Amino acid sequence: MSKTSPQLQTSITSLRKRYASTLNSILQKNSKYIPHVPHPKQALFLSLQSEEACFGGAAGGGKSDALLMCALQYVDKPNYTALILRKNYSDLALPGAIMDRAHHWLQGTDARWVASEKTFVFPSGARLVFGYLQSEKDKYRYQSSEFQCICFDEVTQFPESQYLYLWSRLRRGKADSDIPLRMRVATNPGNIGHEWVKRRFITGDVPFISSLLEDNPSLDQKKYVESLSNLDAVTRAQLLSGNWDITEEGMFRREWFRIIEVPQVPKFTCRYWDLAASEKSFASDPDWTVGCKMQVDSQGNFTVVDVTRFRKSPFDVEQLVKQTVMLDGKSCYQVMEEEGGSSGKAVIEHYQRALVGYPFKGVRSTGSKAVRATPFASCCEAGRVHLLRGVWNDDFLSELSLFPFGAHDDQVDSASGAFNALSQNVFAPPLRAFKFG
């Protein structure tokens, strides 16, 4: 069932008739770029007059096609530019993904592909651009651009901060333009953005068109259901039924953390480093190097004051670690996870030399990631862990709330490492006199 105003809760057939003339005039102009007639739910999505809208729910509901059709609606206009975003480049380019699909739709037409810009250019001068937002900083790649249509494919993969920032890029090139400004998203339930997407689109006031597997007659539905039957119960309910109310029960809850403006006076401060010398790649989603800076006060309350993370080459990782340590100053203890084997010991010895003059120690980790995170989670649940307000807060909370089911756990490892380093007095004897209770 589609949600929002009463007029959208009437039958899809009547709605499609109501908007038929507008929709048909747009699609007829550009029908050579769109190889099939929109299915009823897709047609409803395309006919919406609102500035913002969401399409989706279950997997296989025709989300990517709906977004691509939406982006192509006004390519006959000379001052039109549409942007389609995925989390990383590989998500765009994989076989069957939305950019690959665009190539199949537009090959043999008069649309021209500019590979260096990942852009289709149309005879009118209109442009269809493909982009990605793999990290928080990637949003600034678009700060000097303007688009009349911005489409987020699988929007639950994005933090809310990235989505909100892209609104600043939604604008007209000419004041008298008749091209509507549209922010369009498509997604399934789940992933790091589940809560904010549910709040904004599913239970909020923004138009949401719910599309299920049976709404897409182009798909082999029986085979698709069979493939989904191999998933766990939670993921299966999300993808098969578009269930927004069922989620994995992770180890951490967002509501456990209070955001504060000023930290308590610290008794000790520690930054724990979890290294991952993997440079950012368009073809993969590697781990992050993370340094979590945490303080503890004399009452045994903890504050996460900063989370620094980056994907760089080993050389650049070392330079950024050294820079961060210098900014922290000599009052902040630096702790680094020591991997097993001789290579792990060599890394620690290398950083001991690189960071000479600063308090530094390598610490061997034991047990699974979940076991190491348990003491930190217990303290968080007790309300004794606060977060200093910062741009890193949302990504940090999103990763914690998904742990141990999320794609990444580097921030969890770093935070639990900092917590354990402080609570276990790893710098003894200097910390030995401090008692927790």
Q: Catalogue the E-assigned strands of 320-368.
A: 332-338, 360-364
Question: Counting Cβ atoms within 10 Å, is residue 327 exposed (0-12), middle (13-18) or buried (19+)?
Answer: exposed
pTM for the structure as a whole: 0.57
Closest by CA to 398, choosing from 162, 128, 130, 234, is 162
Who's near 46: CB < 8 A, 6+ residues apart? 23, 26, 27, 38, 66, 69, 70, 73
* Residue-wise pLDDT tens digits, 148-204: 999 999 999 998 989 999 999 999 867 668 899 999 999 888 788 888 898 999 888
pLDDT at 12: 45
pLDDT at 35: 85
* Residue-wise pLDDT tens digits, 62-104: 888 999 999 999 999 998 999 999 998 888 888 889 999 999 9
Mean pLDDT of 125-129: 97
Read off the pLDDT band of 4 (50, 70, 90): very low
- Both structure tokens of 156: 């639950």
Closest by CA to 70, choosing from 84, 56, 58, is 84
Read off the pLDDT band of 38 (50, 70, 90): confident
Whether the pLDDT of residue 232 is over 80: the answer is no
Mean pLDDT of 261-278: 86
Question: Counting Cβ atoms within 10 Å, is residue 8 exposed (0-12), middle (13-18) or buried (19+)?
Answer: middle
Q: What angle do CA 127, 132, 138 make, to 5 degrees?
A: 115
Mean pLDDT of 376-387: 94
* Alpha carbons 214 and 216: distance in angstroms, whole number: 5
Q: Which residues pair with 292 in a beta bridge?
A: 272, 307
Q: Which residues pair with 209 in a beta bridge?
A: 55
Q: What angle do CA 198, 199, 202 make, to 5 degrees?
A: 50
Per-residue burial over 205-221, b if 16 or more Cβ lie within 10 Å, else e, is: ebbbbbbbbebbeeeee
Closest by CA to 210, choosing from 330, 82, 372, 62, is 62
* Residue-wise pLDDT tens digits, 210-230: 876 655 555 555 665 566 555
Give Cα separations from 416 to 272, 330, 378 (angstroms): 9, 22, 11
Who's near 227: CB < 8 A, 6+ residues apart? none
The secondary element (H helix, E strand) that includes residue 341 is: helix 341-354
pLDDT at 137: 87
Contact 295, 280 (CB under 8 A): no
Q: CB count, 10 Å around CB of 88?
A: 19
Domains of the chain: residue spans and CATH: 6-241 (3.40.50.300), 254-423 (3.30.420.240)
Read off the pLDDT band of 433 (50, 70, 90): very low
Length of the chain: 437
The secondary element (H helix, E strand) that includes residue 387 is: strand 385-388
